[in-house]
Structure 1
Amino acid sequence: MNVMMNVLVGIQMLSALAMIGLILLQHGKGADMGAAFGSGSSGSLFGASGSANFLSRTTAVLAVVFFCCTLGLAYLGHSRPAAGGDSLLERAATQPAVPAPAPAAPASEIPSNAAPSAAPAPADATKPAGAAAPAAGSADQIPSK
């Protein structure tokens, strides 16, 4: 089944690139009107009327090939059995629930780099409540805002 999908993707890519090239080679509707009034040359590689027929028919055949490959890829992609169900909701229902993480420890229980025997520094009334007091003997550290 994987080989079939790879072949279909290859054919689809080649037909898409060929369609792009053929569409860019074709003349627009206004090109014939300009040639009728003498402001352009009506000669082309396949003749005056043969180029439009050949290029447009080849583009139509490539478009049919492209759409057939697209339908084949859609069928092969949908017919493949999915693990745990066909939709995301069915997969979520079959998977066990993830437990919620434990709540974070309060700030008073977070260990600091200070010596364990040192008592916690008293809170300074001029500092905001969330600011940490500098530890004893940390004069060589850069103060934070």
Structure 2
Amino acid sequence: MDLQSSQATELEQLWGSWTSRMNNLYEDPNVSKLMNTSVGQYLLKHPLLALTAVTFSVVAMLPVGLFLTFAMVTIIMSTVGFVVFEGFLLFVGGLFLLCALFGLALFSLVVSLVFRMLYVTVSKILIHPHVAEQSKDQTEETETSKLKEM
């Protein structure tokens, strides 16, 4: 009988400890607000449903937490990927711009050289007309000498 009485006293102590913890929980301001609502009153009258709701909430925390973590990592990775891809596109665009500017500089150099040669040639002809006349006279003399030889 001694074993049963010690078990009974242990059970009473456990029940008293449980009751004091539940009272402390009900005295919490947030819990008392919940328990004063109609949902809290309904859950008090249906303890099996309350236990099911609490169990579901606790068990659902892991998948919901994993999903939210996955969503945040995906958002961060897509943002970082966008920044990296945007940087790559700007780099490629900069290379194209550099090539286009180099081509324009080369084209400008060639055009300016052609115009410079034309300017020099035209200025020599206009400034020194006797050079042009001499070459014209030489051309006429060679033509007349060829005609005489025939």
TM-score when normalising by structure 1 = 0.30
Structure having the higher helix fraction is 2
Larger radius of gyration: 2
> Given the two structures, how large is their TM-score scaled by the length of structure 2?
0.29
Q: Which has the higher contact order (CA 8 A, sep 6+)?
A: 1
